[in-house]
Amino acid sequence: MNIILIGARGAGKSKVSRSLSKQTEIPVVSTDSIAVYEAGGIPIPEFVEKNGWKAFRELEYSILQKLQKANGIILDCGGGILFDLDEMGNEIKSEKKLQTLRNIGRIVYLERGIDELVEKVKGDKTRPDLSKITSYKTILEKRIPVYQEAAHFKLNLSKLSKEEAAEKILDWIGIK
């Protein structure tokens, strides 16, 4: 069985995935790390600057397709894993990515308040701008219902440590 962590930037997916791995000895696979590897070591902000968000979303989908055969991993997904772009460049829910994720494993949505998320990622230069014209808060307002719909299990991290969050996920899955 695979455990898939989804949620917005700054939700804590990477920290919780590492805590889950420490408690279970199940390896963590990061879609963002694989994307950097597959792009020849080019950091995501640079890849997006050169190739655009549409190319990055297509790269994510090809990564998910390859991971369908994985068994026994914790998958730490980038915040936009459930989205593609329409002809106008607007984010839309990606049915193909959602279905692929469901084929891979059990999806856990790690949630936090919008204002908390905006504050956590403010000024982080390791993350590319999602939009030159739309605020992160507005993007989150559109993304959150998609995260909620996709999840098999939802966990609010606002008052939990990464270790407590990992324990709740393991209890839900029945691993502990």
- Which residues are annotated as part of the binding site for ATP? 10-15, 127
Binding-site residue positions for substrate: 32, 57, 79, 143
Annotated binding site: 10-15, 32, 57, 79, 127, 143
Phi and psi angles of residue 92, each rounded to the nearest 5 degrees, phi first: -135, 155
Distances (CA, A) of 77 to 12, 67, 87: 11, 12, 24
Which class for 20: exposed (0-12), middle (13-18), buried (19 or more C-beta within 10 A)?
buried
In the annotated binding site for Mg(2+), the residues are: 14
Residues 38, 43, 46: CA angle, nearest 5 degrees: 110
